Amino acid sequence: MTATGSPFPRLSTGAEVGQEGATAAEYRLQAMRLEGTTALVTGGASGIGAATARRLAAEGARVAVGDLNVEGARAVVDELDGFACKMDVADAASVRAAVVAATQALGEIDVLVNNAGTDRFSYFVNSDEQLWDYVLAVNLRGVLAVTHAVLPGMQDRRRGAIVNVASEAGRVGSQGSAVYSAAKAGVIGFTKAIAREAARYRVRCNAVAPGPIETPLLNAAAQTLGEIGERLKQGMVNATIMGRSGEPEEVAATIAFLACEDASYITGQTINVSGGLSMW
């Protein structure tokens, strides 16, 4: 424990080397920022989740992937010597079973990435209650269910970092994705509340809000809605000030940062990873 109470002491205070802060040599040692930790990534079989699983493993974490698509999850963890399990985040019993299995396989979870998400593109006037329930169940209730299964252990151990994958849709709203936008705004609010509740147990909770990222989910709109879907995607890309879509690895890098001790004094925040799509 450092003088300030940082839960992940790694850099010296400098006292023993007679200077303030970390030495340059200590900073060089930080490439494996998650060494000795266990991470659970939901929805890690594809897209942003798969890139995150790879990135966290590359930084030294033992990585469990829980996904509806267990074959896809297995293919990802085979690369990283991790653990794959079937998990439907919309089903709290499935979540609890998967968390137990992941913990037995790899140890107590220090890092939780609530990434699983989906959408059913439709203008709101054309949507029905079934769509509302499904989209809210995966994107909002799913984050609640997995956090509920993992957070008590983190709090008991006074150690942990949660990173929720929200969306710019939750900040600025996204046409064709009204319920998804509502769910993602909910995730941003939930992130802040959990940050407040968990801080005294030394658990941090942050979120990322990606813009258009090249994954099957982004390109599903074009498949579902045809030309309108293509235009929706192009509209999102045009809304970025960088004038391009992002890559899953660019989101994974931000998630890894928030998960590790480099972000030890950051909690309750939502970082946009969106080429400047919004700036708040």
- Residues carrying an active site annotation: 180
Choose the binding region for ligand NAI from 5-13, 54-62, 153-161, 209-217 (rule: CB under 6 A): 209-217
212 binds ligand NAI (CB under 6 A): yes
| Contact pick of 38, 122, 147, 167 for ligand NAI (by CB under 6 A) | 167
Both tokens of 42, joined, read: 């939901």
Decide if 254 contacts 273 (C-beta within 8 A): yes
131 binds ligand NAI (CB under 6 A): no
The residue (of 7 and 43) whose beta carbon lies closer to ligand NAI is 43
Shortest Å, Cβ 91 to ligand NAI: 8
Shortest Å, Cβ 233 to ligand NAI: 9
Shortest Å, Cβ 121 to ligand NAI: 12
217 binds ligand NAI (CB under 6 A): yes
The residue (of 117 and 229) whose beta carbon lies closer to ligand NAI is 117
Shortest Å, Cβ 220 to ligand NAI: 7
- Helices 178-198 and 142-157 pack at an angle, to 10 degrees, of 10
The residue (of 12 and 175) whose beta carbon lies closer to ligand NAI is 175
| Contact pick of 3, 20, 104, 216 for ligand NAI (by CB under 6 A) | 216
Residues 93-122 that bind ligand NAI (CB under 6 A): 115-118
The residue (of 37 and 46) whose beta carbon lies closer to ligand NAI is 46
Which residues have a Cβ under 8 Å from the Cβ of 187 and sit 6 or more positions away?
Answer: 114, 139, 140, 143, 164, 165, 166, 170, 207
Shortest Å, Cβ 22 to ligand NAI: 33
Shortest Å, Cβ 50 to ligand NAI: 7
Distance from C-alpha of 190 to C-alpha of 145, rounded to nearest angstrom:
12
Choose the binding region for ligand NAI from 33-41, 188-196, 211-219, 260-268 (rule: CB under 6 A): 211-219
Decide if 187 contacts 181 (C-beta within 8 A): no
Residues 34-93 that bind ligand NAI (CB under 6 A): 42-43, 45-49, 67-69, 72, 87-90
Distance from C-alpha of 238 to C-alpha of 146, rounded to nearest angstrom:
34
Which spans of this chain sit near ligand NAI (rule: CB under 6 A)? 42-43, 45-49, 67-69, 72, 87-90, 115-118, 138, 142, 165, 167, 210, 212-213, 215-218
